[in-house]
Every structure is written in structure tokens, then in C-alpha cells.
Chains A and B, each alone.
Chain A
């Protein structure tokens, strides 16, 4: 487990609750979107990395927030990464309890990671402890936002 931040003891994750899907519901993925910096994603790695957790974090540096063009890592949303025999678990939070981009972010993280041949499955755990604040944006994230005229 790679912890990107210091979590208070007993940091608790939240199960993702999906709406019930009746038999005749629309197919999954009825929408697609171009956010998350997909056009900038690098090609899949040739070989499985020696330190998969560090590589996962590198890959998440390529996934941009759908609203602010900085990475999820620089925005401070990624709380931890764990890799175990092809299965990746990403602990992440959102900037707001009703963040309108939750689904996009989950989809982008899964899509980017599962491009890699050494990643078989991605589990995303929603974490709210400690809560996200603007202080969690990295120095690099702040600089990127500043060059775009967004003050933090």
C-alpha cells in the first residue's frame, strides 16, 4: 500500500452504491466523454513494472480532473494505491460530497489503468477522511492552475 497522504487512524472508506438496474434498463455506458486528458495518455507500457504501485501513481498523473486541467494526483484526490497480483486498488476522494464529476473520474481512472496489460482489475474506494481541502493541491498543481489564471 502506498499512502500518498497521512491518514488519520481508522480512515474509513465508503462503498460505492449503485442504483438498482431493472432488466430493461439502458445499457451501461450510454455516454462517453473526452475529459480526463485522454488525448494525452501515453501508450501502454511494454513490460510490467518493477514497482507497480509507483507506476500506478505515475499513470494517474496522466488522468486530469474533468473540470480543472491538472491531474487527479496534483489536485490531491488520490489518497493511496495498492497493487496485488494484477489487481489495483485506488483510494480517492472528491472535492465535494456531490461532485458532479464523480462518474467521469471513476471511469477515467479505470480506463487509464486497464489500458495496461499488467492491470487486470481496478477497484476504486471512496474515502472522506481526511476531507479534501484546497491545501491538498500540490505545489505543481498550484503552479499549473496559476498559469491558467486560476488562483488557489
Chain B
């Protein structure tokens, strides 16, 4: 059975547009997050930490691949999505626009960004859209390892003054924009939630809060309100800007274009 038979034809245009936006946002975020993790394969605080970053990078690209492929049912060409888009077209989360400067940012990103992506994916899986349910449950199984690693490191870093200071800087910068992407107060998200394909914004925010609050407490940080929609790019489902060109060149595989093999 193809995904098209599984439900898209009956889908209202507005729902379909919003669902495509969500899946592309998840795919692009995972694509760029993989690059940000991969920067720390070497040079992490320990060899084991670097290997974990490398495994997480690999998982993120595996998830991105499956999500891009699922967009075929929406009329997209997954190859073009992966290899032919400009940076300004990427819908990845703002927190991923620049590289993670240090290990504290890797861990804050794993907690806030990877955590928000897991919350969003779980909500989609619960929505019961058959063509991707199985894929998402496989992804969430892999994400469980990211979570336990990230939370253990977060607690460890939060125990030192310098670690806590750096974590705090990152989470305070990223929480509000990430909350907005996860659960925007816009029409697209409302129709998608009304169709049961994700959860209402307030519920998604509550789920992320439940997940990260015990960690934020260690830093005396509270969950912020999400950003408003003044500078919201409704088409991409994120704020202005885009991931740095260098990351997109790697995501597209520009330098290896002539070397692609079967």
C-alpha cells in the first residue's frame, strides 16, 4: 500500500500544506542537527562523548532520510529536497543556524532541540498517519538513547559553575524560538491539530516543559513564553534567517556531487 492510498487524497488542502510544512521542518532540523553533532566526533570532553555525538549524528541523518522520503507522498522529489535546495529554503530550527561552539551547546541542543523534535514526532505518531507511524516509532526508539545521554551530561555540566553558565546561555537563547517552531500559534498548526495529525500548541509546549523542566531547575531557568509571530515565516514554520551556508553545502553534498555512487 502506498502512502497516497493511505490517506492523502482525502486530506484537505490546508491540512496537507501544514502537514508538509511540519514534516519538512522535522527533516531539515534533523539534517542540520546531524551536522552540528558531527562537528564533535573529535574534540569532545572524552572519546566516549565524541563517539556518542557521532552516533547521534548518524541517527539524525537516518531520520532525515526517512522523513524526506515520506514527503514523496506530498508531491515532493526527495532527492531534490536533499540535494538541490538553497539555505534560505531550509526550515530547520533557528537554534541550529550556527554551529554548536562547545560541548555545553551540544548538550543544550540535544536537550532543547532534539527534545522538541522528539515531542513533535511523538505527536505525529499518535496522530496515526499510517505511512509514517512505523518509521517514527523506530526513530523514537533511537531518540531514547539521545535523551539519556543528553540528560546525564546536562546534570554533570550543571554541577560546575562554568558548565552551568554555558548551559544557561544556550537554553535561554534557544528555548523561546524552539517553542515557537514546535507549537506555533498560527493557522497552519491549528488546522493540523484540528485534523488530529499533531497536538494543540499548548499541549506540545506542556510536553516539552515536562521533559526539560527538571533540568532547567538545575540552572534556575524557567520555561519562557514562545516568541510572538511578528517575524514568523509561515511558509517555512520558523523565524527569519537560515542555517549557515557551510552547513547547507555539507547537507547537500556539494563537493561530492561528481563522486556520487549507486
Smallest CB gap from A106: residue in B? B262
CA distance A105 to B131 in the complex (A): 24
Interface size on A, residues (CB 8 A): 32
Q: Is the CB of A19 within 8 A of B83?
A: yes
Residues of A within 8 A of B58 (CB): 98, 100
Range class of the B interface residue count = 35 or more
Interface string of B132-172 (1 = CB under 8 A from A): 11110111011000000000000000000000000000000
Among B65, B142, B260, point to the contact of A20 (Cβ < 8 A). B260
Q: Is the CB of A97 within 8 A of B66?
A: yes
Looking at A39-47, A49-57, A84-92, A126-134, the stretch in contact with chain B turns out to be: A126-134
Is B44 interfacial (CB 8 A cutoff)?
no
Looking at A7-15, A66-74, A112-120, A135-143, the stretch in contact with chain B turns out to be: A7-15
**Contact A97 to B59, CB < 8 A, known contacts A10-B6, A12-B131:** yes
Is A34 interfacial (CB 8 A cutoff)?
no
CA distance A98 to B66 in the complex (A): 9
Q: Is the CB of B133 within 8 A of A129?
A: yes
Residues of B within 8 A of A15 (CB): 69, 72, 78
CA distance A22 to B215 in the complex (A): 48
Binding site for B on A (CB under 8 A): 8, 10-12, 14-15, 17-22, 24-26, 28-31, 96-100, 103, 127-133
